[in-house]
Amino acid sequence: MLFNSTKFLFVFFPIVFLVFFVLGRIGLRTMASTWLFTVSLVFYGWDDPKFLIPLISASIVFNYLMGRAISSTHSKAVLGAGIAIDLGLLAYFKYANFLAENLASLGAPALHVALPIGISFFTFTQIAFLVDCYRDEASEYNPVHYGLFVSYFPHLIAGPILHHKEMMPQFARPETYTLNTAALVTGLCWFAAGLFKKVVLADGIEPFASAVFGAADHGQIPGFGLAWQAALAYTLQLYFDFSGYSDMAIGLALMFGIVFPANFNSPYKATSLIDFWRRWHMTLSRFLRDYLYISLGGNRHGPLRRYLNLFVTMLLGGLWHGAAWTFVVWGTLHGLGLLFNHAWRSTGLRVPALISWTLVLIFVIFAWVPFRATTLASAAELWTSMLGFNGGGTATSMLGWTWIAALAVIALMAPNTSEIFTRRGDLVPDIGEISRPSLGWAALGGVAFGASLAAILGGQPTAFLYFRF
C-alpha cells in the first residue's frame, strides 16, 4: 500500500487513527499498541499477505527471542548466529538472483526470487537491536512494543531506519495514547509537504530522467545537453522522492504522538562529501557508522586502517542499496571520494566554500548516474556524453530545464522541513520541541495537499524509488 494512494489516505489511515485514540482514551493502552502493531502487519502485507506477513512476523519473533537470549548469556556465538541468520535471509532474497546471473557462465541455474518490500530496513533495525543487547544498551523488552518498533507502518517500507532506544520508550509513554493537537496539526503539515514533494515535484520531473536513462539502456547515446538534463533531473527526482517519503513517515508518526529522526538535512547544500553524508539518508549513515564502521575498528588502529574501514563501509553500503554492479560502482565512488576528503582535511588546506560546494555537487551528480542506470555500459555512455565526447546530440527540453531550475531553487534555497516544523531546526526533536506551524505555513500545507490530491486523483499512484531497496 502506498502513502500516495486514495485507499491509504481515505480508508486505512483514518480508521487506524480513530481506533488507536479511542482505545487510548478509554485507557486500553496495551490494546491500542497491539492494534497499531496488527494494522502495521496488514499494511505491510496488503498486496501479498500469504507471503509477506509470515516473513516479517517470523523475523520479529526470531530476533526478539535472540535478543533476550543474547541479553541473558552475553554470548558472541549467539549474537553471531542471530546476525548470520538475518543477513542470510537478506542475502537470499536480495542477492540470490544477482549471484546466479554472475555464475550463469559456470552453469548455475537461473533464479527468480521476489524481493520483499522493506526487507533491508527491517533487517538493519533488528541487527542493531541484537548488537545493543550484547552491549547491554537495550533496556526494554516489551514484546508488543518491540514488534511495533520493527513493523510500525510509517517507516516500514523505506525508512527512516529507526533505533529501538528512540522508539520503544515512546510507545511506553502514557501521553502517546492521548491526542496531541499540536502534534496532529504539525504532522498533517509535515505529511502534506512530503506528499507534495513526491506526487508533484518528484513525479513531475521524473519523465525527463527516465526517458534518457531508458534510451541509454537500449543503446541510444544522448548528446551532451540531454545527458546533463537527465542526470540533473534524476538528482532532483531522487531527493524529492526519498525525502518526500521520509517527510510523510515523520508526519504520520507525529500524528500518533511519535517522533522520528530526520532523514535529510538539505544535502545538496553540503560543502564536502563528509558533510553530504551527514545530511543525506542520515539514519542509514548513523547505522553504517555505529554498526559497521565502528565494528570494523573505526579510527582506532591508525589512518590506513581507518581509510580501509571507511572504504569497506561505503562499498557495502552501496551493495545494500541494490544487487547490481552499478550499486557497487556507486558505493566505490563514494568510498574513494570520502577517502580523498579525509586525506585533504588532514593537510590543513582549505578551499573556498563556493568552489568546494560546486565540486561536491558535480561529484554527487556524476555518482548518481550508475545508481540510476541499469547497466554499467549505459552508465559509461552517459558519463561519456556528460564529458562532451558524444557530441551535442538531440535538442533538450525547455520544459525539462524549467523543472530543473524550479526544483533546484527549492532544494538549495528553501528551508527544509526540520527547520520549518521544529523550534530550533532539531533533527531528532523531543515531542515538546515540535513547533506548531504558523498560519502561513499551515495555509501553504493546505495548498500543497490540495495540489497533491489533484495529482493523485488524476492518475495512478507511483511507487517510491526506495520501495524495494
Residues with catalytic function: 321
Question: CA-CA distance, 422 to 430, in Å (whole number)?
Answer: 9
**N-term to C-term CA, the chain:** 16
* Closest residue by Cα to residue 119 from 161, 81, 154: 161
∠ CA 413-440-247, rounded to 5° = 60
Question: Which residues are CB-contacts of 56 (< 8 A; sequence separation ≥ 6)?
Answer: 41, 44, 45, 116, 118, 122, 150, 151
Number of H helices, E strands in the chain: 22, 0
Amino acid at 142: N
Handedness of CA 187, 469, 43, 66 (dihedral sign): negative
Amino acid at 122: F
Contact 292, 313 (CB under 8 A): yes
Handedness of CA 457, 460, 462, 467 (dihedral sign): positive
Using the structure block, give the residue that is written with the C-alpha cell 527471542.
65
Beta pairing partners, 434: 422
Measured CA distances, 173 to 38, 89, 162, 321, 420 (Å): 19, 33, 18, 34, 26
Question: CA-CA distance, 209 to 215, in Å (whole number)?
Answer: 10
Question: CA-CA distance, 134 to 151, in Å (whole number)?
Answer: 22
Judged by phi (left if over 0) then psi (alpha if -120 to 50, else beta), residue 171 lies in alpha
